[in-house]
Structure 1
Amino acid sequence: MAQNNLETQTPNKKIRIITNVLTKALKLWLRSQVSQVYELEVEIKASDNEILSGYIPWVSIFASHAVYQDIHLTQIQLVAENIRINIGSVLKGQPLRLLETVPVVGEVIVEEDELNASVSSSLLSTALNDVLDKLLPEQCPKSKSIFYQKIILDHSRIILYISQPAENSFTVSEVCANIELLSAHELQISHIQAKNNKGTVLESHNGHYLNLGSDVDIQQLKLLPGKLVCHGRINVNP
């Protein structure tokens, strides 16, 4: 009888070990993608045969106060399905690697303090420069030399406080604009206002559109006082 119980339990124990190894490997891979994370939780749902074949049907990831490429993220809740990984290498202690593109669905929350901690990030500053080049080509002709001092989030509105070389009296120090989700791949920026220390130098109600690319599918974007909340999908490529 004892032998039968041992035979019954051994496969389950083996699969628990594999699941634990895989969970740890996934956590290590996620931690390698960020420079800092306060809390990280990973949940994997898969059968023994699926895991051993390198297929994971469902994974849930929760992280708080993570920093990715100097971008500070307050909270992330993600779900990924139909994941193919190099399970053979993982079981030998090698790093986890994706074998196919994985669609990831979830929610990202960025509070205003975290956003302001990200202004020195080349990723964020480059994105803001590109936007200013498009919206204010005459008022910010040298956007790459702009320093972003502070960002304020309000109801569907963002305010940028900036400094730039004072080559003339029209140097912009504040830019305000409304941001709305136009489609899953496009943002609309409107009601743009640029100011300097003498007052308003530009005011436009025309809409400008930003294409986010085919790898992004945003379902909801909320700009709230002190917080940005985004629901959607993004493709994670190998």
Structure 2
Amino acid sequence: MVESTPDKPNGSRLISRMLPPAIRLWLHTQMEHIEDLVFRLEGRDREILSGHIPEVLLSAQKAIYQGIHLSQIAVKASGIRINLGQVIRRKPLRLLAPFPVSGDLCVTAADLNESLQSPLLGQGIYDFLRLIAKSQPEATDLEIIVNAFSERTILPYYHPTADIAPENITLQLTPRDGQTMPPIAIATQLVIKDGHRLCLENPQWLTDSASETQTSISALHGFEIDLGPEVTLTKCDIQRDQLSLAGTIRVLPA
């Protein structure tokens, strides 16, 4: 009978100590900016070498990736299985099984306004406006505006800004110099439905961004933004100048 070594009851963890510094360095090269990055890998050497990573923990502050700004982020992934044996033989890395990633993130109003200038959100707002225009017969004016865009982005035509008030977010699109399109502003509350849908609640339409008069858009009340079946949101908290989100994403093999 072979007894385990008393001072190493859980097996060697050399790899889980050596890999994180290298991964932290790689993450720094992928981000435009990041502060207070913490990365921890949990697992015994035998597990990791077999391609099973029991748990990964990551947290950071003031992160910027592809123009998206996040004041705080903390995520945990568990049960990751990859083809590490093949990777060692210079084969492409592949995910072998789905795994969950749970996390919390905080977006301030300053973060959101910086992020709105990114190509990613410029396209995202365009898609959002087109989705509203197509699904709501009453939104004929919006459909005319969206159809006038020659590119799949709002950025050449509008300067987007946002305001985060308690329980309410306002997206305002101001025409850029030389543009004749009307200003647009939509204020709404957000609620979670079925975990993977964000619904507009009590949306207000403001066609003149210089005016404080808002008109209820009853046709858009309950309008759903489907994030996909692999997403489960557990928190969408809108406070003054801050949006907090929490939830889980199920990552699938390609």
TM-score (norm 2): 0.75
Match of 2:233 in 1: 218
Of 118, 137, 151, 1:121 maps to 118
Unmatched 5+ stretches in structure 1: 1-7
Match of 2:38 in 1: 41
Match of 2:217 in 1: 204
Unmatched 5+ stretches in structure 2: 134-138
**Residue 21 (structure 1) shift:** 2.7
Match of 1:5 in 2: none
Distance across 2 between alignment mates of 1:11 and 1:25: 25
- Is residue 204 of structure 2 the alignment partner of residue 178 of structure 1? no
**Number of aligned pairs?**
226
Match of 2:14 in 1: 17
Structure 1 letter corresponding to 2:205: Q
Kept after mapping to 1: 8 A contact 2:16/2:42: no
Q: CA 1:201–1:139 in structure 2 vs 1: closer, same or farther (change >3 Å)?
A: farther
Q: How does 1:142-181 map to 2 (within 5 A)?
A: 142=146, 144-145=153-154, 146-164=157-175, 165-167=179-181, 171-181=182-192
Distance across 1 between alignment mates of 2:167 and 2:159: 20
Q: CA 1:235–1:16 in structure 2 vs 1: closer, same or farther (change >3 Å)?
A: same
**Residue 73 (structure 1) shift:** 1.0
Q: CA 1:97–1:33 in structure 2 vs 1: closer, same or farther (change >3 Å)?
A: farther
3-state SS of 2:33 partner:
coil
Which of 119-128 and 22-31 deviates more? 22-31
Of 203, 207, 217, 1:195 maps to 207
Kept after mapping to 2: 8 A contact 1:21/1:91: no
**Residue 113 (structure 1) shift:** 0.7
Q: Percent identity?
A: 27
Kept after mapping to 1: 8 A contact 2:104/2:246: yes
3-state SS of 1:99 partner:
coil
3-state SS of 2:140 partner:
coil
Distance across 1 between alignment mates of 2:86 and 2:20: 14
**Residue 233 (structure 1) shift:** 0.7
**Residue 107 (structure 1) shift:** 0.4
Distance across 2 between alignment mates of 1:33 and 1:97: 18
3-state SS of 1:184 partner:
coil
Q: CA 1:231–1:197 in structure 2 vs 1: closer, same or farther (change >3 Å)?
A: closer
Distance across 2 between alignment mates of 1:97 and 1:29: 16
